[in-house]
Chains A and B, each alone.
Chain A
Amino acid sequence: MSFTLDRSEEQLVVAIEGQLVVTNRQEFKQAILEAVEQGVRLVLLDCTHAAYIDSSGLGALVSLKRRLRELGGDLRLVALHEDLRSLFEMTRLDQLFPPYATLADASAASAAP
């Protein structure tokens, strides 16, 4: 998995390519936490080119979401393919991460549930 970061003031777009799993979740989480420390409050995870996410990757997302919420921010998932959408529904994590179709939709949403 590789990921690219595109920061604009308080918003960070993270585009992931490949899988978010036990072997790379720490690097992924650390990169986002550093941005949060620098003032980012809204993180949009672009999953257009994501493959799969294992339980460690899910845990990293839950942890990051919790941290951002504590700071009045949010983490939102964008462009989930069918299998990823099913993964979040099956694990019920869609309650924490309602999927957004586009980055614009996610950025414009007022508050996640």
Chain B
Amino acid sequence: MSAEQGTAVHAWVLPSSLEAIPAAVTQAVDACRAAGVDARHCGFHLPLALTEALSNAVRCGRAEQSHPELRVCVEITPAQVVLEVEDDGPGFDWEACARSPDAADWLERDGGRGLFLLRSYMDLVESVPPTAVTRHRVRMLLRRT
């Protein structure tokens, strides 16, 4: 389906494991590419952001499930791409977790740059807390223009 003709929606369920991330990222990016999303977004911004979000979900979103699963949803319209990652975690306080390049240890630390990258490459990123009937969801929006 061409993105110029409307909205394309794709969704996948994958095990909550690091090994499952590359295939999920490839599927999502292939869907974007097929819908006409530009090569730079498909080659860098989108796979990088989705890798970060899935990595966070694997590490922080397992809750108490014995066989945790993640769900990835991609919605592509002529104006934007929305990526969503659902996990079983409680969600997080974005402002409390995100680290800044202004921090004294920023250049020396081995981790802690993931949320900064998400925010830098996506036009909108939000953590939607779970409810009684929905799971925690990270929603990322990238405008195509």
In the assembly, what is the distance between CA of A92 and CA of B47, in Å? Answer: 21
Chain B's nearest CB lies how many Å from the CB of A99?
16
Given the known A-B contacts A52-B47, A55-B113, are A23 and B108 also in contact in the complex, defined by CB atoms under 8 Å? Answer: no
User: Would you list 6 pairs from A and B whose C-beta atoms are within 8 A, ordered by A residue?
Assistant: A22-B55, A51-B44, A52-B48, A54-B117, A56-B111, A92-B106
Q: Are A62 and B107 in contact (CB under 8 A)?
A: yes
- B22 contact set on A, CB distance < 8 A: 21, 23
The reply to whether the CB of A111 lies closer than 8 angstroms to some CB of chain B is no
Q: Are B111 and A55 in contact (CB under 8 A)?
A: yes
List the interface of chain B (C-beta within 8 A of A).
18-19, 21-22, 40, 43-44, 47-48, 51-52, 55, 101, 106-114, 116-117, 120
Q: Are A59 and B109 in contact (CB under 8 A)?
A: yes
Q: Are B116 and A91 in contact (CB under 8 A)?
A: yes
Chain B's nearest CB lies how many Å from the CB of A64?
10
The reply to whether the CB of A48 lies closer than 8 angstroms to some CB of chain B is no
In the assembly, what is the distance between CA of A95 and CA of B109, in Å? Answer: 14
- A54 contact set on B, CB distance < 8 A: 48, 51-52, 55, 114, 117
Name which of A52, A53, A58, A66 has the most chain B CB atoms within 10 A of its CB: A52
Name which of A21, A63, A66, A92 has the most chain B CB atoms within 10 A of its CB: A21
List the interface of chain A (C-beta within 8 A of B).
19, 21-23, 51-56, 58-60, 62-63, 66, 83, 87, 90-93, 95-96
Chain B's nearest CB lies how many Å from the CB of A97?
10
- B48 contact set on A, CB distance < 8 A: 52-54
- B117 contact set on A, CB distance < 8 A: 54-55, 87, 91
Q: Are B108 and A92 in contact (CB under 8 A)?
A: no
Q: Which of B44, B51, B120 contacts A22 (CB 8 A)?
A: B51
Q: Which of B21, B40, B107, B116 contacts A83 (CB 8 A)?
A: B40
- A95 contact set on B, CB distance < 8 A: 107
